[in-house]
Structure 1
């Protein structure tokens, strides 16, 4: 075995360890006291992190869940997620922000925005025939796409906003950012 291959083999454990570690900037962000202002109307406003940094963190955390099984009422990686459980998990783990549990309550706690103003990290809501106008929620990731935990096909995946099923059922765009 030549010298360059030996060096590469010696470096592999260190590279793998680095991939599994948390970057220093994330630890600093999550170790800060949560500065989430809540009004008496139970609105959630995220103020403790830069919007662009938050968007990147939310998208990365959401993308890391692709392929995770759907489970009604689910809220963790071990057993799976439903749509609002996935959103709650992503916001908590990416930004340290606690959100309400249901899509309906997330809609009530967020600020409605014009769909043309959607940015990565905002929420998209749908009426998929549930008992509430806001029966399904996804995380907008840009370029007309969102991540969600649908019960059909059983895994977290990305979807186009233009998908006829979702376009017909779209009921609003919301944000927790100012």
Structure 2
């Protein structure tokens, strides 16, 4: 006798609510971990952003809801595999495919396909890391040209798809590598 172990349709909203609650808890944990004083033993190899103590900044009051949607979408994609040319969770992401997917699905904003084209968009440029707002695009100059993009989530952290063989991840924007290659941000949501 074969038993059917499928989930009843009435359980689906409960599962979705649970997923949203877990995602919200992850964001709160990120904020809690980043907000307290951070001491590391010398040579521990880990770093936390010096920007973690800055107050959260939204792009504008009018776009705060869109910024929130973008942050939830971005953080929810952490762990998705990297794939050059990829632009879906099922197929994986490269850096610009990830950023376009986040904006397209969370804010209904279609972005150009490459990091170089995104950097050339008509949007307010943010030159200082301390002036970045949640949801800003962040660009990195690697080898003399803009060749990498991510989404700033606040507290000195950004979500991006960094390299082949890796996954979408959350990194310190002012860390040893990324801080040295930071070019500027773009405020798309204003």
Task: Say yes or no: TM over 0.5.
Answer: yes
Q: Which residue of 2 aligns with 1:114?
A: 127
Q: Is the 8 A contact 1:133 1:171 kept in 2?
A: no
Alignment of 1:80 with 2:79, yes or no, is no
Give the secondary-structure state (helix, strand or coil) at the position aligned to 2:171: strand
Q: Which residue of 2 aligns with 1:176?
A: 188
- Aligned CA RMSD, in angstroms, stands at 2.3
| TM-score normalised according to structure 1 size | 0.71
Match of 2:106 among 80, 86, 94: 94
How many Å apart are 1:162 and its aligned residue?
Answer: 1.9
Q: Structure 1 runs of 4+ off > 6 angstroms?
A: none
| TM-score normalised according to structure 2 size | 0.67
Distance in 2, matches of 1:117 and 1:50, equals 18
The alignment covers a number of residue pairs equal to 139
**Structure 1 pair 15/125, CA: closer, same or farther in 2 (3 Å)?**
same
How many Å apart are 1:128 and its aligned residue?
Answer: 2.5
**Gapped regions of structure 2 (runs ≥ 5):** 1-9, 21-60
**Gapped regions of structure 1 (runs ≥ 5):** 1-11, 22-48
Distance in 2, matches of 1:20 and 1:124, equals 28
**Structure 1 pair 161/153, CA: closer, same or farther in 2 (3 Å)?**
farther
Match of 1:138 among 150, 154, 160: 150
